[in-house]
């Protein structure tokens, strides 16, 4: 489905990002992984290569504009093109509004929102000039309904990702590029490791399909939006949440 495509993603060392990197490679794409944890990112790249795929990894701090541009430059230097960009790197936060500090607020916004912007900015001119490209961002059901267990900072950062997606979609549509967003509900990854069993069960009961998402549930939607089958879809927020939010 993605043969001969080049996909660049951040946050590829674990969770949804890791599953996305492996799935995109499995569909034939060459994958470039940027992550703050270079060691784990390298393990993912090795897993892809062991399965016959092509992968490159490097250390990237998504909060730094220069790191995002360096990631893009590295991909171009190695493969000569970028067809797909996935700014997946993100952090959770369960800090209450009463205990929220400026440091925690900035940490969440810097990674979840500013990091997405810097990455998209780094590929913007390239995709506009080549007149093709797919960008898929990751938001959250919390962006639409507010956080149940996630903090107000997390919910606000992911709401910002929605508006960023709409804006980029409008800017790039005249150039044949597609920008869409996946909005998951609870996903069973280390990202949710701060929840206790009672909290996990409470969230499960709020999902009509009766279970948490697996990373592959989200990744299948990502692969679709990166494929030619989604060429006429842009500015869309695809809810993948087991019916937790129906709109």
Q: Known catalytic residues?
A: 154
Helix, strand, or coil (residue 80):
coil
Are 218 and 19 in contact by the 8 Å Cβ rule? The answer is yes
Helix, strand, or coil (residue 85):
strand
Q: Is 34 exposed, middle or buried (0-12, 13-18, 19+ CB in 10 A)?
A: buried
The DSSP annotation for 121-185 comes to HHHHHHHHHHT-EEEEEE--THHHH--SSS-HHHHHHHHHHHHHHHHHHHHHGGGTEEEEEEEE-
Helix, strand, or coil (residue 68):
helix
Are 148 and 203 in contact by the 8 Å Cβ rule? The answer is yes
């Amino acid at each position: 489905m993605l043969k001969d495509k080049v996909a660049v993603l951040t946050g590829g060392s674990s969770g949804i990002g890791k599953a996305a990197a492996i799935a995109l490679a499995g569909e034939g794409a060459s994958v470039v992984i940027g992550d703050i944890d270079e060691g784990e990112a390298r393990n993912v790249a090795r897993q892809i290569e062991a399965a016959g795929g092509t992968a490159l990894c490097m250390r990237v701090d998504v909060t730094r504009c220069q790191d995002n541009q360096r990631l893009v430059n590295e991909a171009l230097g190695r493969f000569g093109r970028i067809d797909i960009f996935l700014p997946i790197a993100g952090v959770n936060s369960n800090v209450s509004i009463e205990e929220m500090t400026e440091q925690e607020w900035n940490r969440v916004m810097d990674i979840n929102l500013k990091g997405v912007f810097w990455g998209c900015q780094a590929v913007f001119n390239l995709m506009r000039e080549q007149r093709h490209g797919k960008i898929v961002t990751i938001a959250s059901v919390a962006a639409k309904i507010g956080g149940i267990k996630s903090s107000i900072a997390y919910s606000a950062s992911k709401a910002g990702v929605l508006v960023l997606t709409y804006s980029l979609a409008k800017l790039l549509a005249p150039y044949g590029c597609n920008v869409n967003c996946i909005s998951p509900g609870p996903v069973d990854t280390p990202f949710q490791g701060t929840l206790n069993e009672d909290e996990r069960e409470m969230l499960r009961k709020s999902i009509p399909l009766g279970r948490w998402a697996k990373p592959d549930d989200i990744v299948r939607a990502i692969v679709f939006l990166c494929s030619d089958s989604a060429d006429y879809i842009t500015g869309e927020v695809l809810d993948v949440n087991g019916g937790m939010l129906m709109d």
